[in-house]
Amino acid sequence: MNLNQFRKRFPTEDVARKFLEKAIWPNGRFCPHCGCLKSWPIRGRTTRSGLYECGGCHGQFTVTTKTPLHGTKLPLRIWLMALYFMVNSSKGVSSVFLAKWIGVNQKTAWKIGHAIRAMMAAHGNAIGQLSGIVELDEKYLGGKPRFQRGVKHPRGKGTRKSCVHVAVSRQGPARASVVDNDSYATLAPHVRKVVAADAQLMTDQLQTYVAIGKDFASHESVHHGIKEFARGNAHVNTAESFNATLERAKQGIFHYISRQHLPRYLGEVVFRWNNRDPVEKKQRNGLSKIVMQAKPVLEQFDNLLKYAVGTQLRRTIYGGIAVPQPLFGG
């Protein structure tokens, strides 16, 4: 779907609202306050479109209530256009360019971007345990420290960069999380959480994975230190490809990613990675190969918006964003 087709698909606010209602409530309208399935529209000359009243708690709500679009003053078509640009990009969209493309200021575009990333992160967290051949790898994400005369900055694991652990199923979904370090005490419970026990692990030479691999069906590794990058079916090239995508997003688009917001940026990269399908393509030599092709735009919209309810971000008094806490511990 190109941009002209997108604009024809959503010509009015009413069309955009009905699309959101179908995508956010795929199994029928429900109250975001109490979950009741019984509700009715509120109609009147001064009533805004899409307002409903719950038959259980009698609270009023719209399709944006308790979603990242909660309380928005922007047209819904602007949100859908922002979503269009973010799912269509290969590495991400900076808030500066997103602001120009959708016609808002940079601060608003920055908040919209993080609101969409929050839904993408919720989509990634809903993926079950990875199975089959699963590649594990870790990546330290961050830039070089500023030069200081006479100061030697440590490299690799000695840096203060954020440690990201990646688990990727071959021709399948990926999971990426921020972890404290790559020690056994940190990685072992995390890997058990995201990878099924019957999976075949593929890793590099990190000794932590030797101990972790004993809890799974099988474990093979390659030794990058001696320039061994593949041995038969044993390699971590898929995980390395994911890490390269993450690095290109950081270097080419965002330039700097704080640890505070890193989980949402990871959610964006994971969502884009997981919303692809393997497609067989013929080559000039007559052979065929499998390439990963992005799903149609509207299918990605549906996959994302079903996780909108319950995913919220709010402006702080200092201009930042925060996840609202439930009242009274509810």
**Model confidence over 122-140: pLDDT tens digits?**
998 888 899 999 999 999 8
Contact residues for 46 (Cβ-Cβ < 8 A; gap 6+): none
- Cα dist from 224 to 172, 206, 231, whole Å: 24, 10, 11
- How sure is the predictor about 119, in pLDDT bands with cuts at 50, 70 and 90? very high
Q: What pLDDT sits at residue 329?
A: 40
Q: What pLDDT sits at residue 110?
A: 94
Q: What pLDDT sits at residue 147?
A: 74
Rounded mean pLDDT, 260-275: 93
Residue 250: name the closest of 121, 259, 321 by CA.
259
Distance CA 323, CA 114 (A): 11
Domains of the chain and CATH, by start: 3-125+307-322 (no CATH), 133-144+159-274 (3.30.420.10)
Angle at 302 between CA 296 and CA 308, to 5 degrees: 140
Burial of 93 (0-12, 13-18, 19+ CB in 10 A): buried
Contact residues for 8 (Cβ-Cβ < 8 A; gap 6+): none
- How sure is the predictor about 326, in pLDDT bands with cuts at 50, 70 and 90? low
Rounded mean pLDDT, 254-269: 91
155 has pLDDT over 80: no
Distance CA 21, CA 306 (A): 10
> What one-character DSSP code corresponds to residue 225?
G
Q: Is the pTM of this model over 0.85?
A: yes
57 has pLDDT over 50: yes
Residues 286-295 have pLDDT tens digits of 788 888 888 9
- How sure is the predictor about 327, in pLDDT bands with cuts at 50, 70 and 90? very low
* C-alpha R_g of the chain: 22
Tokens, residue 321: 């964003």
Q: What are phi and psi of 133, to 5 degrees?
A: -85, 115
150 has pLDDT over 70: yes
Tokens, residue 46: 């001064």
273 has pLDDT over 80: yes
194 has pLDDT over 50: yes
Distance CA 276, CA 168 (A): 13
- Residue holding tokens 């967290």? 125
The mean-pLDDT minimum among 68-82, 146-160, 265-279 falls in 146-160
Exposure b/e, 217-253, CB count within 10 A at least 16 = b = eebbbbeeeeeeeeeeebbbebbbebbebbeebbeeb
321 has pLDDT over 60: yes
Long-range residue pairs from 214-221, CB within 8 A, at least 24 positions apart, any chain: 215/188
- β-strand partners of 134: 169, 201
Distance CA 293, CA 290 (A): 9
Q: What pLDDT sits at residue 156?
A: 63
176 has pLDDT over 50: yes
52 has pLDDT over 60: yes
Rounded mean pLDDT, 201-228: 90
In terms of pLDDT, which residue wins out, 92 or 160? 92
Q: What pLDDT sits at residue 244?
A: 92
Q: What pLDDT sits at residue 171?
A: 80
Q: What pLDDT sits at residue 328?
A: 39
Contact residues for 164 (Cβ-Cβ < 8 A; gap 6+): 138, 139, 140, 141, 176, 177, 178, 179, 246, 262, 266
Distance CA 67, CA 326 (A): 14
114 has pLDDT over 70: yes
